[in-house]
């Protein structure tokens, strides 16, 4: 069973055990239980970790990300319904006042578990997908140029990101360190981070991510409020899709807040369809 005290870092063996556990759950459930940020947090300072052990083997894991005020929780498929999830959640609740937890794919088991833990559905995150067969680039609006990111653009890029996502719980806090970490990832490609510039400088961007030969991602698409209303979102979207298609991708996915109606509408017009929805469960409000 897990100790109630959280760990502030993991040993390499613990990290490997958590990744193996997450892979086993992904195979069984058809959806990964830990997202990119949680995987990155396994070997960085800042997150809290709880391990559930059975015969000294890691059979469950919970992580809390203070910066995002969200947690993630997974139990090995062969060790479910024996109280490990409850014990991990008790660990979270002991240290965190509002223990909101992501349920990726909002699986039936997660829904039942969340209900039994006294949690209710909160924010939703859609995963959308389309094929890349027909990508016709649009005309770039007057006074706008598109070009790839260079290291000299980091500050301007971060400023536009912060303005575009001022109300977004995670993306609005994306920092120079967060950018540097992505630049160290194998998929980093400055050509895949397309900037839109007007007379005042960078005004928008489409950051694409190539997962493998088949699948690409609209990783982040952002337009500064001063550039709104000129169709820049659609222009940047198409430029990024054309980049992914030129590199051989035939399928593209993206994550978007279910409540972000204008963005969901933009993606639907471009042919994206919702594949599934992640749900952030939060404690039910006290009556």
Ligand X SMILES: CC(C)(COP(=O)(O)OP(=O)(O)OC[C@H]1O[C@@H](n2cnc3c(N)ncnc32)[C@H](O)[C@@H]1OP(=O)(O)O)[C@@H](O)C(=O)NCCC(=O)NCCS
| Chain residues that interact with ligand X, rule: CB under 6 A | 25, 29, 33, 73-75, 80-86, 101, 103, 107, 109-110, 112-114, 116, 281
Report the residue number whose CB is nearest to ligand X.
85
Nearer to ligand X by Cβ, of 19 and 162: the residue is: 19
Nearer to ligand X by Cβ, of 82 and 171: the residue is: 82
Give the shortest CB-270-to-ligand X separation in angstroms: 29
Non-local (6+) Cβ contacts of 113 within 8 A are: 85
Residues in the chain: 287
Give the shortest CB-81-to-ligand X separation in angstroms: 4
Nearer to ligand X by Cβ, of 174 and 281: the residue is: 281
Rounded to whole angstroms, the Cα distance separating 60 from 85 reads: 7
Q: What letter does residue 169 receive in the DSSP assignment?
A: T
Nearer to ligand X by Cβ, of 24 and 158: the residue is: 24
Non-local (6+) Cβ contacts of 7 within 8 A are: 14, 48, 49, 50, 51
Residues 235/87, Cβ–Cβ less than 8 Å = no
Give the shortest CB-228-to-ligand X separation in angstroms: 36
Rounded to whole angstroms, the Cα distance separating 268 from 206 reads: 17
**How far is residue 147 from each of residues 158, 174, 207, 226, measured CA to CA in Å?**
16, 22, 12, 19
Nearer to ligand X by Cβ, of 94 and 180: the residue is: 94
CB count within 10 Å of CB 193 equals 24
Nearer to ligand X by Cβ, of 33 and 192: the residue is: 33
Rounded to whole angstroms, the Cα distance separating 26 from 59 reads: 14
Give the shortest CB-188-to-ligand X separation in angstroms: 29
Give the shortest CB-285-to-ligand X separation in angstroms: 18
Give the shortest CB-136-to-ligand X separation in angstroms: 39
CB count within 10 Å of CB 204 equals 26
Rounded to whole angstroms, the Cα distance separating 101 from 122 reads: 10
Give the shortest CB-282-to-ligand X separation in angstroms: 10
Nearer to ligand X by Cβ, of 14 and 140: the residue is: 14
């Amino acid at each position: 069973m897990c100790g109630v005290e959280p760990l502030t870092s993991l040993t390499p063996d613990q990290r490997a055990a958590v990744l193996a556990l997450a892979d086993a759950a992904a195979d069984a459930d058809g959806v990964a239980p830990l997202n990119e940020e949680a995987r990155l947090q396994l070997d960085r300072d800042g997150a809290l970790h709880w391990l559930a052990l059975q015969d000294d083997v890691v059979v469950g894991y919970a992580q809390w990300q203070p910066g995002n005020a969200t947690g993630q929780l997974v139990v090995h498929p062969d060790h479910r319904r024996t109280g490990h999830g409850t014990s991990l959640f008790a660990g979270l609740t002991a240290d965190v006042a509002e223990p909101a937890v992501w349920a990726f794919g909002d699986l039936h088991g997660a829904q039942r578990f969340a209900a039994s833990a006294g949690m209710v559905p909160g924010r939703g995150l859609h995963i959308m997908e389309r094929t890349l067969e027909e990508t016709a680039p649009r005309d770039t609006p007057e006074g706008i140029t598109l070009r790839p990111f260079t290291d000299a653009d980091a500050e301007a890029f971060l400023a536009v990101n912060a303005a575009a996502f001022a109300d977004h719980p995670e993306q609005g806090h994306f920092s120079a360190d967060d950018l540097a970490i992505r630049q160290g990832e194998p998929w980093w490609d400055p050509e895949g981070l397309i900037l839109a510039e007007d007379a005042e400088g960078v005004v928008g961007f489409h950051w694409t991510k190539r997962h493998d030969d088949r699948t690409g991602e609209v990783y982040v698409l952002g337009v500064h409020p001063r550039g709104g209303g000129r169709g820049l979102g659609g222009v940047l979207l198409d430029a990024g899709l054309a980049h992914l298609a030129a590199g051989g991708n035939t399928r593209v996915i993206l994550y978007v807040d279910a409540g972000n109606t204008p963005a969901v509408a933009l993606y639907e017009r471009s042919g994206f369809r919702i594949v599934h929805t992640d749900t952030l469960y939060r404690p039910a409000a006290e009556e």
